[in-house]
Amino acid sequence: MEHQVLDELLSLQEMDGLIARNRAELRAMEEEARLLEEGLEAAPQRESEVAVRVEAADRALRQSERTVQAGRATLKRLQQRAQEVAKARAAMAARAETDAARQNLDAAETAMLEGMQIQERVRSEHQAAVEALELEQQAADERLAEIRRLSAELTDSIAVQSDRRENRALRLDGSARSMYDRVRAGRTSEALAPVVDGVCGHCFTSIPLQRQAEIKGGRTLIVCETCGVILHADR
């Protein structure tokens, strides 16, 4: 009779294991969905940060262009004045002033070219960020839809499995079911373990020969004295 009880308990444990694995998978999908949603919420901020850099580069380039325009106007004015100066000392001063203005203009034009390069780079980065965001949004939406579908299917499956598990549990002897539930609620998720090569299959404690014989006889439910699981002969 106890062999039949053991078979029922092993079947119940198998069902509990399947339900536990499915629940763990469901929790994993829920966590994945949460992370995807957080990523989607943060994505516009990443694009916005690049957009701010683009705006800053545009402002810097406009300032450089104004500086270059002013420098060119200053240089032209000084060159014209240098041509009009008659005295040698005044002419030397005008040329020095013109040379300084030319150097300033060269520096401003170099800064403007660098600004154009920076602007081109950050605009390219912004475009890449926008395109990546669109792809990320599409991929996340597709995965979220898949997760919702799989989660719904898995939730339904767990409900069916749980009903079957309860029906199977009700068929068990009350004392056997209580022992099973007590062991499973304790230190281990598995209430039954085989005796393999004379040791408990859960904690690997050696089982006395007399106890091994009783376990093989299957006349009563025997628990491991170390870890408390219900022992059964290896199959």
Q: What domains does the chain contain, in order, with CATH numbers?
A: 2-172 (1.10.287.1490), 179-233 (no CATH)
pLDDT of amino acid 156: 96
HSE of 176, CA atoms in CB hemisphere, 13 A: 23
Q: Which residues contact 182 (CB under 8 A, 6 or more apart)?
A: none
Phi, psi of 220 (to 5 degrees): -150, 160
Largest CA distance in the chain: 129
pLDDT at 48: 79
pLDDT at 188: 66
- pLDDT on residue 91: 63
* H helix runs in the chain, sequence order: 2-84, 88-170, 174-184, 209-217
Give residue 1's pLDDT. 47
- The pLDDT averaged over each successive group of 10 residues in the chain (235 residues) is 81 94 96 92 78 82 84 81 64 77 87 88 82 86 95 96 94 89 81 94 93 89 92 87
Checking 96-103 for CB contacts under 8 A at 24+ apart, the result is: 101/71, 101/74, 101/75, 102/75
Amino acid, res. 60: A
| Closest of 104, 114, 111 to residue 73, by C-alpha | 104
